[in-house]
Chain A
Amino acid sequence: MTADLIGYRCWSVHVGRHRSREFVRDASDRALGYFQTVWRGQPGLRLGSISNDMLWEGPIVHADYMPKEMNSFGLYALKNIEDAKEYSPNAAAYGEVALFGKIIEHENGYRAEHALVKRIWLRPACLPLTPENQLEQIAAVAKILETRYQCDVIVDSSPRGAGPLAFLLAKIQQGNITTADLERLAKL
């Protein structure tokens, strides 16, 4: 039995209907050669990629095109969970994925043909919540994601999980803020 290949990445938490890009068609249903974004189905909560508009519909996702050494396709994941957390401090979720199929290994991560979501951590302060009953909303988000992705969903209650601003405020209170922290704040 081969051990799973594990990578780490972060996501946005997207609220809304399924979004896809489809060809614009004329009255006779002929594709016109350019795309439009369309929304279909019932509203739902989904993980979304940070650097493009891809939504993760379920626990298994597939790359649009086969990753190869000489292209940039594939599902991206980092080797180190700390790098995944740092990649986007405003990302509402980060987590663990098992990668399989064709894999391109890089120094710091992988591009994969397929990925299976294994574990998700939520950053409550980065979720799109309304002001009332936030604990109930966080629990509901965790439950919905757990059902959709069939994996454990953990609420990150660390200062970093509370969001970048709360993290910096905590460091200021402790008196150990660094110039690196301020540079990170300037990038947000």
Chain B
Amino acid sequence: MRLGEVVREFEQPAPNQIEIPDEKVVPSKPLKEPVPA
């Protein structure tokens, strides 16, 4: 999708009706790689 030149970057707050789960803290599935002792 061609969006053209960048104009600016900014932070937009979430719409009021939703809460965003923190997916970086709670992985959606367990890690499969074994952790070395």
- Write the residues of chain A forming the contact surface with B, with a CB cutoff of 8 angstroms: 1-2, 4-5, 9, 25, 29-31, 51, 60, 62, 67-69, 76, 78, 87, 98-112, 114, 116
B35 within 8 A of A: no
> Which among A51, A103, A116 is the interface contact of B11 at CB below 8 angstroms?
A103
Most buried by A among B3, B4, B20: B3
Contact A108 B3 (CB under 8 A): yes
* With contact pairs A29-B32, A114-B20, A116-B18 given, residues A78 and B3 touching in the complex (Cβ less than 8 Å): yes
A101 neighbours in B (Cβ, 8 Å): 11-12, 14, 20
> Which among B5, B9, B23 is the interface contact of A102 at CB below 8 angstroms?
B9
Contact B1 A1 (CB under 8 A): no
Contact A107 B7 (CB under 8 A): yes
Most buried by A among B6, B12, B14, B20: B12
A78 neighbours in B (Cβ, 8 Å): 1, 3
A98 to B4, CA, bound (A): 20
A127 CB, nearest partner CB in chain B, Å: 22
- Write the residues of chain B forming the contact surface with A, with a CB cutoff of 8 angstroms: 1-16, 18, 20, 23, 32-33
A63 CB, nearest partner CB in chain B, Å: 11
> Which among B5, B9, B12 is the interface contact of A99 at CB below 8 angstroms?
B12
Contact B13 A2 (CB under 8 A): yes
A116 to B18, CA, bound (A): 9
Contact A104 B9 (CB under 8 A): yes
* With contact pairs A101-B12, A101-B14, A102-B9 given, residues A60 and B20 touching in the complex (Cβ less than 8 Å): yes
A67 to B6, CA, bound (A): 12
B14 neighbours in A (Cβ, 8 Å): 100-101, 114, 116
